[in-house]
């Protein structure tokens, strides 16, 4: 959710245009509560952000907010798994979870679903060059492929390092947001 909302700061004109349009469309739905119209402008803003952050995944158009949010989220996963130290991955959040609360490791985890997802990942899913296409077709598999691939890379790098001391993992980034 946060990865999508963070994109709003990168698309300020588009976000302002949508806000203006949605506010116009919903103006007649506001109600008088006491002496003020409700929801307030700030509450309305928060509501639109929340809806954008939690909207279900649809087939992606890379130019849309959800697409950029998924790219932000994958970037965070990649960074978390490639920098020195122990990655902070909450149980059950190895794949995308659209939730309005922070992960807390107390929710039930569908391990069968995660295992089945991992079993569908073949070598082509873990090829970094195929990840963009996979992200467009099947975002949850792209997240699982990224996590699995980088976890394997960490394990292999650790095995190759001297006395188990972490060594730097080369990282190449390319492309842009247009």
pTM of the full predicted structure?
Answer: 0.66
Tokens 């990224």, located at residue: 146
Q: pLDDT tens for the chain, 178 residues: list them.
A: 778 888 888 889 988 998 999 999 999 999 999 999 999 999 999 999 888 887 776 655 555 777 788 788 888 888 888 887 777 777 777 777 767 777 666 778 888 988 888 888 766 565 666 766 777 677 777 778 888 888 888 777 766 655 555 555 555 666 666 5
User: In terms of DSSP bridges, do strands 36-38 and 31-33 run parallel, antiparallel, or are they unpaired?
Assistant: antiparallel
What is the residue whose two structure tokens read 């790219």? 71
């Amino acid at each position: 959710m946060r990865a999508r909302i963070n994109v709003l700061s990168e698309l300020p004109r588009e976000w302002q245009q949508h806000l203006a349009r949605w506010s116009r469309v919903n103006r007649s739905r506001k109600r008088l509560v006491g002496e003020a119209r409700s929801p307030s402008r700030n509450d309305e803003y928060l509501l639109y952000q929340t809806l954008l952050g939690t909207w279900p995944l649809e087939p992606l158009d890379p130019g849309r907010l959800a697409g950029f949010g998924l790219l932000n989220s994958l970037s965070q996963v990649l960074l978390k798994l490639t920098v020195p130290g122990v990655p902070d991955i909450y149980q059950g959040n190895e794949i995308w979870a659209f939730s309005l609360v922070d992960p807390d490791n107390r929710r039930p985890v569908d391990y069968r679903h995660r295992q089945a997802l991992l079993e569908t990942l073949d070598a082509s899913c873990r090829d970094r060059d195929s990840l963009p296409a996979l992200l467009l077709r099947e975002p949850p598999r792209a997240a699982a492929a990224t996590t699995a691939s980088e976890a394997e890379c960490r394990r292999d790098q650790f095995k190759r390092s001297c006395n188990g001391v972490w060594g730097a993992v080369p990282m190449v980034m390319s492309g842009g947001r247009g």
